[in-house]
Amino acid sequence: MKATHIPASEAEKEKTAGQWGSLVWVANQALSGSSVGVARLILTAGQSTYGQAGKKHRHPNADEVIYLFRGKVNVLVGEEANILQPGDAFTVPANSPHRIENVGSKDAEMMLSYSSGNRGYVAE
């Protein structure tokens, strides 16, 4: 693999958005040939990942690392609640059912990193 520059305009083409917020991929197998995945998630106040209130998902082939830049989120892994504040990082092991909820009053911004450039996604 060679070094790859992904301009913001190219990353925006990989954007998924909805009432819940937006997810912009900045590195993954399809975008950059990377063996890891990295995305920027903006989660709207009061929302859960992909708007699936109460529903969890898992990544069977990848660990996930969440780094929170701003806001306040609850990362629910199984039945365990984990409140993150800005500057906190949290690791979700591969295949662990989880969801991220914005429990603050403002949008939350975080970076998501995956141990696979082609991470799987399974809704629970």
Residue 58's domain spans which residues? 8-123
pLDDT of 50 over the 70 cut: no
Within-domain flag for 52: yes
Give the pair of three-digit tokens for residue 36.
């890891």
Determine the average pLDDT of the residues in 27-43: 92
Any idea what the CATH number is for the domain that residue 25 is in?
Answer: 2.60.120.10
Within-domain flag for 3: no
In the chain, the percentage of residues whose pLDDT exceeds 90 is: 70
More confident residue, 10 or 56: 56
Within-domain flag for 104: yes
Domain count for the chain: 1
Return the ∠ at Cα 32 (arms to 1 and 8), rounded to 5°: 140
Within-domain flag for 107: yes
pLDDT of 35 over the 80 cut: yes
